[in-house]
């Protein structure tokens, strides 16, 4: 394993040195200071727009990436001392109405006629910002990391307007310099524009992007050339106070009404144009959208992404360290069933090559569950090497204040005195994005060396237009601990080769098709094979953007601890027992152009103890565009096992209604019936964005027992937030 790791690290380093030049450097849009005042009304009538250069002649990305786009898009940009301006004329490719889901903010990209801006104000081809709108005027904004990933949970202050005509729709926006981070004095930014037109099923970009990559790929941005370096943002201090009132009641315990009257505040302070300080006092996240529940038949903890605003900007410095199942820092561990008192974070760029992140959060003491006040501190440092690669370091510390070693439950400590993690990683991203990879090491530290452990992992991926292949291996020692991380499995070695090939036929209906395969092997610390999943799939994608996948898989499991195969808390299979089976299934997603959309997946085949498992999921959506979107998700499982389990059946059903009266007035109602945990959850959220980034929320939550139908708990919260620039 050590020799393999060394070879991979050398290969990654060699790959970095092999690529350097920016691919689309010849695509340049010159931006000049506005020659007149610009009013955000979705009308192209100001002199400043007449004087601005035009980015046009977009390139098609899909269905093909070998020609100019058929649908015309014209983009102009300008600026003044406070704002970056953008106006886009999106011409229709054919007659007919536009296609959108609703006016909901941060819409689903593939289900809306839309225009998106991707900008890299550091010109590092790795981090940036995205802004845009759909054809009905719903806004989209997100923070970009990892060369093209867009986190839409990020939210900031900007204004826009969309105006519709018979032959086009126009999108106009003003983005305050204070709402973004950029390198002071730099006169060239990475920039690209993406257009999706569902009537023609055409996705296009101003600077060409190969079809195997998303249009958001920062490796393929052109250049926004400023006539002068962008103006400094000036005194960049924003204070975001909130006032909250609420009431809740626990009906299971016949509790009384519990009233909430809280105030708190966030603050954002620009230390430089690219480095910011974020502060929070008594934060509240009651308005954050609830997690989508899933049926859990896994032996390990499930992962749910972070949605809280405070943790998102430059969040990749902390959260992207490691792999999906090896994360030394996972911010959702902070404030888990305990209130956060205050926190601070410094993050951003020191210069072109160096990024830093430092965060500390303090939680309150909770007598009910015996937890003391705890401090969470994480520090990260990142150094760019080569064109788009970097070397990163991280340190994570969880410290219990006023530690009491006598606090035990069933002979075990209720909490630890401290837990620490330190790590290094190398991230490869070639300039053309064909090669990506990572090599990392982690070490954990705990009292009396009880949780001292080591982790190593590495992967290398190649993705061309037709061929994709990847190798990944991991080692996690049995004693490794990451109390502020997400590491659901310990004490294993793992290898995971995978690959695929796509054919692009000369067909009027089929865009691409091809096979995909992968195999994952696990061994325990003694070298005994404990798991293997090997799958083979065939993918078909039509030009209408509908997709079909057929698959079959072989599974082998040698249990390392007792496990209930129904996850209902019943009889458990014994440690050391071996199980293997074969299963097969389908996945299908309909074309997004219809007002009625649907998707389904099926699975049937073997399961533990020579049993059988049948699963079907279905998603159905209908929209009365642009004001109402109705969705229904359903998941049904049937498990047939020998006694004492017998036949087990359970549903997970989740209807959702989005009502978007305007692009600033939203009502979302989400119901989830989870038969596996015998719970019905109702969450209704009303949001009025009365000013950019300033909101009034009314959130109602109910939890019920499925049978008998009785209320478990209920809450109602009214929250007012206001974004104030000092």
Alpha helices in 449-526 (DSSP H): none
CB 591 within 8 A of CB 544: yes
CB 423 within 8 A of CB 318: no
* Alpha carbon distances (Å) from 225 to 25, 30, 31, 123, 192: 11, 5, 6, 11, 12
Domain range for 524: 502-677
* Alpha carbon distances (Å) from 16 to 109, 144, 356, 497: 32, 21, 22, 22
Rounded CA-CA distance 500/513 in Å is 10
Would you say residue 315 has pLDDT above 90? no
| Across 109-118, average pLDDT | 95
pLDDT per residue as tens digits for the range 155-177:
889 999 999 999 999 999 999 99
CB 442 within 8 A of CB 423: yes
Is 643 inside any structural domain? yes
pLDDT per residue as tens digits for the range 467-512:
999 999 999 999 999 999 999 999 999 999 999 999 999 888 999 9
Q: Name the DSSP class of 231.
A: P
Note the pLDDT of residue 290: 83
Note the pLDDT of residue 124: 87
Would you say residue 589 has pLDDT above 80? yes
For every residue of 553-574, DSSP letters joined together read: EEEEEE-SS-B-TT-SS---BP
Would you say residue 277 has pLDDT above 60? yes
3-state secondary structure of 200: coil
Note the pLDDT of residue 273: 83
Note the pLDDT of residue 225: 97
Would you say residue 17 has pLDDT above 50? no
Rounded CA-CA distance 104/189 in Å is 30
Q: Which structure tokens are listed for 703?
A: 């939890």
Is 252 inside any structural domain? no
Is 244 inside any structural domain? no
Rounded CA-CA distance 218/50 in Å is 29
Rounded CA-CA distance 119/117 in Å is 6
Of 140-144, 506-510, 668-672, 699-703, the poorest mean pLDDT is in: 506-510
Note the pLDDT of residue 487: 97
CB 305 within 8 A of CB 319: no
Note the pLDDT of residue 18: 44
Give the total residue count for the chain. Answer: 726
What CATH number corresponds to the domain at position 195? 2.60.40.1190
3-state secondary structure of 24: coil
| Across 191-218, average pLDDT | 95
Last residue of a domain, one of 207, 226, 245: 226
Cβ neighbours of 9 (radius 10 Å): 17
pLDDT per residue as tens digits for the range 594-626:
999 999 999 999 999 999 999 999 999 999 989
Note the pLDDT of residue 627: 93
Of 170-184, 303-317, 387-401, 423-437, the poorest mean pLDDT is in: 303-317
pLDDT per residue as tens digits for the range 18-65:
445 689 999 999 999 999 999 999 999 999 999 999 999 999 999 989
Note the pLDDT of residue 19: 46
Q: Which structure tokens are listed for 396?
A: 């994570």
CB 185 within 8 A of CB 64: no
Would you say residue 86 has pLDDT above 80? yes
What's the mean pLDDT when you consider all of the chain? 92
Rounded CA-CA distance 550/602 in Å is 10
Note the pLDDT of residue 404: 79
272 pLDDT band, cuts 50/70/90, is confident
CB 572 within 8 A of CB 560: no
Q: Name the DSSP class of 230.
A: P
Rounded CA-CA distance 554/531 in Å is 11
416 pLDDT band, cuts 50/70/90, is confident
Note the pLDDT of residue 376: 97
Note the pLDDT of residue 377: 97
Q: Which structure tokens are listed for 180?
A: 């973004």
Rounded CA-CA distance 11/13 in Å is 5
Is 13 inside any structural domain? no
5 pLDDT band, cuts 50/70/90, is low
Last residue of a domain, one of 174, 201, 226: 226
| Across 134-141, average pLDDT | 96
572 pLDDT band, cuts 50/70/90, is very high
Is 649 inside any structural domain? yes
Is 548 inside any structural domain? yes
Helix (H) or strand (E) holding 17: helix 2-18
3-state secondary structure of 494: strand
Q: Which structure tokens are listed for 42?
A: 């979705």
Q: What percent of the chain has pLDDT over 70?
A: 96
Helices (H) and strands (E) in the chain, counts: 3, 40
Note the pLDDT of residue 458: 97
* Alpha carbon distances (Å) from 230 to 80, 227, 399: 9, 9, 43
In the chain, how many domains are there? 2
Note the pLDDT of residue 709: 79
13 pLDDT band, cuts 50/70/90, is low
Q: Which structure tokens are listed for 280?
A: 């929070």
Rounded CA-CA distance 337/374 in Å is 13
pLDDT per residue as tens digits for the range 340-370:
999 999 999 888 889 999 999 999 998 777 7
Rounded CA-CA distance 481/419 in Å is 8
Note the pLDDT of residue 652: 96
Would you say residue 312 has pLDDT above 50? yes
| CA atoms in the 13 A half-sphere facing the CB of 419 | 17
Is 207 inside any structural domain? yes
3-state secondary structure of 12: helix
Of 177-191, 199-213, 435-449, 603-617, the poorest mean pLDDT is in: 177-191
Rounded CA-CA distance 357/382 in Å is 9
Rounded CA-CA distance 677/296 in Å is 10
List the one residue out of 140, 129, 471, 533 whose CA is nearest residue 314. Answer: 129
Task: Tell me the CA end-to-end span of the chain in Å, nearest whole number.
Answer: 55
Would you say residue 235 has pLDDT above 90? no
- As a whole number of angstroms, the longest Cα–Cα distance in the chain is 80
Q: Is the model more confident about 706 or about 41?
A: 41
Is 275 inside any structural domain? no
3-state secondary structure of 512: strand
Residue 209 zone, left/alpha/beta (φ > 0; ψ -120 to 50; rest) = beta
């Amino acid at each position: 394993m050590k020799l393999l790791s060394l070879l991979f690290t050398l290969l990654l380093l060699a790959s970095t040195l092999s690529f350097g030049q920016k691919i689309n450097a010849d695509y340049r849009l010159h931006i000049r200071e506005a020659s007149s005042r610009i009013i955000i009304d979705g009308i192209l009538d100001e002199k400043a727009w007449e004087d601005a250069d035009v980015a046009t002649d977009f390139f098609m990305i899909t269905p093909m990436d070998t020609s100019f786009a058929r649908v015309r898009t014209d983009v102009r940009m300008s600026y003044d001392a406070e704002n970056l301006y953008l106006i886009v004329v999106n011409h229709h490719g054919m007659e007919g109405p536009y296609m959108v889901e609703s006016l909901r903010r941060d819409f689903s990209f593939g289900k809306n006629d839309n225009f998106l801006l991707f900008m890299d104000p550091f010109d590092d081809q790795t981090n940036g910002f995205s802004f845009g709108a759909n054809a009905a005027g719903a806004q989209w904004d997100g923070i970009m990391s990892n060369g093209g990933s867009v986190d839409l949970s990020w939210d900031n202050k900007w204004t826009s307007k969309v105006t519709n005509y018979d032959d086009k729709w126009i999108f106009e926006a003003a983005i305050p310099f204070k709402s973004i981070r950029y390198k002071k004095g730099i006169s060239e930014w990475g920039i690209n524009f993406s257009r999706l037109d569902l009537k023609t099923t055409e996705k296009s970009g101003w600077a060409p992007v190969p079809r195997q990559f998303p249009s958001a790929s920062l490796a393929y941005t052109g250049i926004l050339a400023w006539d002068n370096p962008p103006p400094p943002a000036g005194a960049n201090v924003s204070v975001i106070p909130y006032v909250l009132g609420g009431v809740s009641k626990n009906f299971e315990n016949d509790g009384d009404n519990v009233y909430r009257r809280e105030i708190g505040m966030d603050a954002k302070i620009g230390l430089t144009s690219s480095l910011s300080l974020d502060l929070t006092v008594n934060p509240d996240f009651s308005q954050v959208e609830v997690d989508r529940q899933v049926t859990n038949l896994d032996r390990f903890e499930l992962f749910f992404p972070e949605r809280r605003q405070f943790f998102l900007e430059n969040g990749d410095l902390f959260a992207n360290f490691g792999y999906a199942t090896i994360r030394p820092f996972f911010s959702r561990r902070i404030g888990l069933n305990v209130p956060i008192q205050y926190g601070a974070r410094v993050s951003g760029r020191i210069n072109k090559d160096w990024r830093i992140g430092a965060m500390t959060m303090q939680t309150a003491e909770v007598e009910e569950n015996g937890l003391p006040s705890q401090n969470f501190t994480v520090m990260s440092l990142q150094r760019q090497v080569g064109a788009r690669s970097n070397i990163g370091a991280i340190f994570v510390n969880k410290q219990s204040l006023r530690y009491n070693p006598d606090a035990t439950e069933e002979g075990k400590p209720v909490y630890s005195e401290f837990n620490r993690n330190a790590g290094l990683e190398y991230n490869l991203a070639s300039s053309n994005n064909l090669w990506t990879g990572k090599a990392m090491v982690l070490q954990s530290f705990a009292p009396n060396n009880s949780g001292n452990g080591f982790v190593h992992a590495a992967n290398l991926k190649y993705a061309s237009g037709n061929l994709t292949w990847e190798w990944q291996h991991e080692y996690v020692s049995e004693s490794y601990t990451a109390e502020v991380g997400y590491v659901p499995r310990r004490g294993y070695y793992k290898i995971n080769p995978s690959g695929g090939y796509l054919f692009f036929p000369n067909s009027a209906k089929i865009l691409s098709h091809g096979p995909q395969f992968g195999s994952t092997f696990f061994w325990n610390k003694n070298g005994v094979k404990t798991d293997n999943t090997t799958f083979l799939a065939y993918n078909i994608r039509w030009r209408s953007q509908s997709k079909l996948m057929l698959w079959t898989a072989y599974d082998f499991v040698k249990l390392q601890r007792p496990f209930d195969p129904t996850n209902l808390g019943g009889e458990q299979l014994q440690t050391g027992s071996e199980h293997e089976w074969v299963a097969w299934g389908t996945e299908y997603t309909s074309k997004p152009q219809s007002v009625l959309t649907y998707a389904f997946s099926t699975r049937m085949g073997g399961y533990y103890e020579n049993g059988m498992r049948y699963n079907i999921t279905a998603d159905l959506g209908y929209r009365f565009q642009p004001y109402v979107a109705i969705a229904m998700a359903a998941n049904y499982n049937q498990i047939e096992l020998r006694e004492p389990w017998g036949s087990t059946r359970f549903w997970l059903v989740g209807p959702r209604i989005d009502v978007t009266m305007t692009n600033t007035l939203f009502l979302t109602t989400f119901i989830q019936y989870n038969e596996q945990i015998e719970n019905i959850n109702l969450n209704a959220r009303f949001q009025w964005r009365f000013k950019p980034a300033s909101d009034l929320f009314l959130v109602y939550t109910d939890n019920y027992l499925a049978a008998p139908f009785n209320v478990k708990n209920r809450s109602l919260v009214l929250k007012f937030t206001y974004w104030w620039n000092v």
